[in-house]
Structure 1
C-alpha cells in the first residue's frame, strides 16, 4: 500500500508537468486512487478535513493580503516611491538600482504580491535605468530580484500558506522571516554597490542638473509624502502582529482598509478601481483555495495509504542525518521551482516532508523560513522563473530573454549562498522570537 502512495505522488507530479490543472489533478487522481485502493469507510474522515480548511481562521488572511496588495498597486504609491528614492540616491553610482531594491523591499512589506511588484517596477524603472546608461543585465536582474522580496518579507502570502501547511504560528513565522528578509535586501545592495564600483559604466550616477532641480522643487515634502504613508501601513500591519495586539488575520484586515484609505488619499479610488481589485482578489483567492482543497485530498489519501510512514522508514534505513535530509528537501524544492508554481510546491511537497522534520525534531519555524527563501529563488531561476516572465511582458523591445537570464544569475547565486548561510547560522531566524 505504501508503494501505491509513492506512485500517487509521482503520478500527480508527472501530470502537472504535462500541463493538467493542478487543483483538479491533485484532488481527482487522489480520489481515483482512494476508490481503487482504500476502504470506503475512510472517506468519512475526508469531509471534516475539507471543511476545516475552508473554515480555517488563519487562511482568511490570504484574500485580505491579496486585496491589500492589488489595491496598493492601483494607488500609484509605487511610482512616487521609485521617483523619490531614485533622486535620494542619485549621487551614488548604482543609486538608481539601489533605490529599486529598497522600494522592492518596501512594496514587499506593504503588499506581498510578487507579480504586481515586478510589473510595476518594470514599467516605471526599467526604461529609466536603460535611458541612464545602466547595463541591461544589471537593470533587469535588479528589478526581477527586488520584485520577489514579497515572498520572504512579511506580510507574505507564501508565509501564511506555509504556516497553515506546517501548522505553526503565522505571526511567529513573520517575525522569524523579517531579519533574514532585511539582510537579503542588504546583500543585494552590497552586490550592486560593488558592481558599480568595479565597473562604473554598468551603473552611472544621475545627472547633476536633475538632482539640483529635484532639491529645488520641494524635495522634503515629496520625500515625506512618498515614505510616510506606506510606512504607516507597514507599521500598522506588522507592528500590530509583533506587538501581539492583532493576529495575522486581523492585521490583514487593517492592511486592507489602510490600502483602501491610501488609494483614496492619492485620488485614485473610484467604483471601477474597487470592482477591478475585488475581481482580481476573488480570482487569485479562488485559485489558492481550490488548489488547497485538492492538496487536502491528496494529503489525506497519501497518509491513509501509509506514504508518510513509508518515507520516514526509508529515511531511517538510509541513515540520513537531519542536515542531510534538509539538504535533500532544499534541492528537491529548488529543482521543482524550475517547473511548477510555489503554491503547488507548498501543497504537494511540504505536507509530505513536514512529518519527517517533526520526527527528526527539527523546528518547523526555521524550516518555514528556509522554504520561503528557497521558493523565492524559484521565482528567479531560468528557464521558468515567473518574475522573468512578468518582466519580459513589460520590458522595452530591445530587452531580450538572454538579457533576463544573464542578469538574474548573480542574484540566484546570492540567494543560494544566503540560503546556505541561514542553514548554517539559524540564530538569524530566532532573533525576534526568542
Structure 2
C-alpha cells in the first residue's frame, strides 16, 4: 500500500483535466493512490467513489487542500484565529449536502472523509496553537529540566505554569466544537461561529497552573503572543525588550484578560528572562573557557616546537665547533712554522680563546632553554588550573553564573582565571 501523507490538491485537478479532455481511461495507479489516502483518513469506509466524476474529485481535492496538511502558525501565514483555520469545513460540508449530482452514499462517504480529515487537522491545530502558549509559559521550566537532565545546573528556578496535557485537551475540545456549529448551522458565518465559541467556552480556569482558557481569553492571548514574537527581534536589536514586554501586558489588559492570567503572563516573562540570561552567561563563560584553553594549548605546543628546534641548533653547533677545532689544529702546524712576530700570542692562548667563545655560545643556548622551559611549565600549570576550574564550572555552573549576575562588571577572563 502506498502511503500518501500529503496528497496535493493539484493531483485532483489533474484528474479533472483528464476527464475534461475525454481521457476516460481508468488510471489504476492514480486511483490506488487516492484510495490509500482515503484509507489513511478513514478507519472504515466503502470505497465506491467514481473517480471519473469531476464533482467528487473536486470535493476530495478541496478537503485535501484545506485539511490534509501540516498546521503551522509560523512563517508568512502565521494566522492564529481558530475561525480562519476551520471555516473551510462549513463551506465544504455545504458543497456536499447541496450537490444534487451526488448520491446519498457518496455524500455520506465524502462527509466521513471531511470529518476525519478535520479531526486529524484539529489535533495538529491544538498542538500548534495550544503548544505555543505552553511553550511560552513553560519555557523556563523546560529549559531547567533539560539542563538538569544533562547534569548542568544553571541555577534556573522555574515553575510549570501550564498543565500541558489538560490545556491541549481543552484547546482540542474548543476547536472540535466548530464542527458541531457547522453541522447544526448550514448557513453559519464566521461571526456566528465566533459567538458560538464564546457562548460555549466562557470560563477560564487558573490555579497553580493554567488548565483551561475561555475562547475570548484564548484568542486574546494568541493575539498578544503573535504581536510579542513579531516585535521580539527588532526590540532585542534596539535594546527595547522591556518596552516590548510592557506592550504585551497592556495588550492583555486591553483585551479584558483576567488578573490571574496577566499575573501568570508576568511570571512567565520573569522566569523566561532569568532563564535566557543564565543560558547566555553559561555560553559566554563556556566560550571563554574554550578560547583560553585553546590558547594555552597552543602556547605549550609552541614551546615544545621550540625545544625541538633548540636541540637541532645544539647538534648543528656541536658539528660547527668540532669543525672549528679541526681547522684550528690544521692551521696550527702552519702557524708554528711562522711564529716570528714578537707580540704574537702562543697557540695555547689562541686555542683557549676559541674554546672560551664556544663555551659562551653553549651557555647562551642553555640559559635560553631554561628560561623557555620555565615559561612552558608555567603555561602547563595555568592549563591544569584552567582545566580544574572548567571541570568545577561544568559540575556546578550556577555558581559562576550567580557571580556574573551579582557583580556589576565582572569580566569573563577574571572569572575564568580565578583560583
Please tell me the TM-score bracket, short chain as reference.
under 0.3
Ranked by relative contact order (alpha carbons within 8 Å, sequence separation 6 or more), the top structure is: 1
TM-score after normalising by structure 1:
0.25
Higher helix proportion: 1
TM-score after normalising by structure 2:
0.26
